[in-house]
Amino acid sequence: MSDKPMLRALRREPLDHPPVWLMRQAGRYLPEYREVRAAAGGFLEMCHDPALAAEVTLQPIRRFGMDAAILFSDILLPLASMGMDLVFEEGRGPIFPNPLRGAGDIDALRAIDPASDLGFVGAAIERVKAELPDHVTMLGFCGAPYTLACYALEGGNPKEQRTVRTLMHREPEVFERLMGKLADAVAAHLEYQVASGAEAVVLFDTWAGDLNRADYERFAAPFSRRALESTVGKAPRIAFVRAGMHLLDSVAALGTEGMALDWRVDLDDAFNRFGDRLALQGNLDPTVLLGRPEDVKRRTQDVLAAAAGRPGHILALGHGVLKWTQPEAVAAFVEAAREPVPSRS
């Protein structure tokens, strides 16, 4: 069994300091990332080039020394492999010009073969692993089936989820057929990343937090569970549902080794409820990193005090690094993890 801090935390073993990493730690807040992106010509070009993807994955590790490196990629790549056109527009993000519109489109989605369809992902993981410091864990990831369904049906930012909810409630059998296809694609993608060298994986469900618990239990959770089955016993798994404060019991029941918490969850309460069976990741508000480094450090110490050194804590933000964040703030966040853990007041 590996003695890497991140993997030990996922086994809920006692540590002197919690491991630390950040969602979107490779991104636009880093000047070296912006240089690579400008030379590459765009976001997808970097994802598809294993050398560039590996380089930007390693940049924050070199600069800040996090305990985990998460592959630079995108949650939506399986949809492109299933036959959907995916483009990234500056200022708008991911766009599917031809979103799914009914049972015929859903039935036309093809099963993926990650080794051929997403071979660049495996190649990037292998490159990163070859250069990682010994203590750093390699993380793979994918979007959860519900979040992928939101983008596939809405065609872009699914904030309102009108098309998603309409299909879900008017034609639940068709919606569940889509979810089954997506779950199988996600399962294959996660399994391939582990086979390529990922030591743990994260399942990101950005939009499922908008569901009430009954709908989450019927339309999202079973398919997340199905997607995670391919990596049981092969790598520890972390589940994250943004804005899922009301769904924590359901997320905890997915069977993962870890659960990531967004910034609106009380970390002490979460440890009291779930800390005996799950590692808990989080959960500083990402906007705190827009402040001064000394204030970032103080607020990070508040998070550490809430965790109180309990086994299974992974220090992270409650969501991704914002593009306006200054590198000095990230440095203060990471440095705080190396200092003595403050006690709860």
Tokens at 193, concatenated: 């990343």
Q: Are 317 and 283 in contact (CB under 8 A)?
A: yes
User: Which of 34, 37, 226, 264 is the catalytic position?
Assistant: 37
The verdict on whether 170 is a catalytic residue reads no
- How far apart are the C-alpha atoms of 336 and 330, rounded to whole Å? 10
SS3 of 171, please? coil
Q: What contacts 90, CB < 8 A, 6 or more positions away? A: none
Which of 29, 33, 146, 151 is labelled catalytic? 151
151 is catalytic: yes
Residues 242 and 210: their CA atoms lie apart, in Å, by 9
Q: In what order do the strands lie in the sheet with 279-281?
A: 68-70, 137-143, 200-205, 237-241, 258-260, 279-281, 313-314
Phi/psi of residue 205, each to 5°?
A: -115, 85
Check if 225 is active-site: no
Q: What is the largest CA-CA distance in the chain?
A: 58
Number of Cβ within a 10 Å radius of residue 39: 10
Q: Name the catalytic one among 8, 12, 33, 74.
A: 74
Cα separation, 272 vs 249, whole angstroms: 13
Distance CA 121, CA 172 (A): 33
254 exposure class (CB count in 10 Å sphere: 0-12, 13-18, 19+) = buried
* Active-site position among 12, 24, 127, 237: 24
Does the annotation count 92 as an active-site position?
Answer: no
Residue 28 annotated among the catalytic residues of the structure: yes
CA nearest neighbour of 165 among 208, 206, 203, 204: 208
> Quick one: DSSP state of residue 220?
I
User: Which one of the listed residues 11, 28, 34, 63 is annotated catalytic?
Assistant: 28
DSSP per residue, 191-203: HHHHHHT-SEEEE
Q: What are phi and psi of 101, to 5 degrees?
A: -135, 75
The DSSP code for 218 is I
Q: Which residues are catalytic?
A: 24, 28, 37, 74, 151
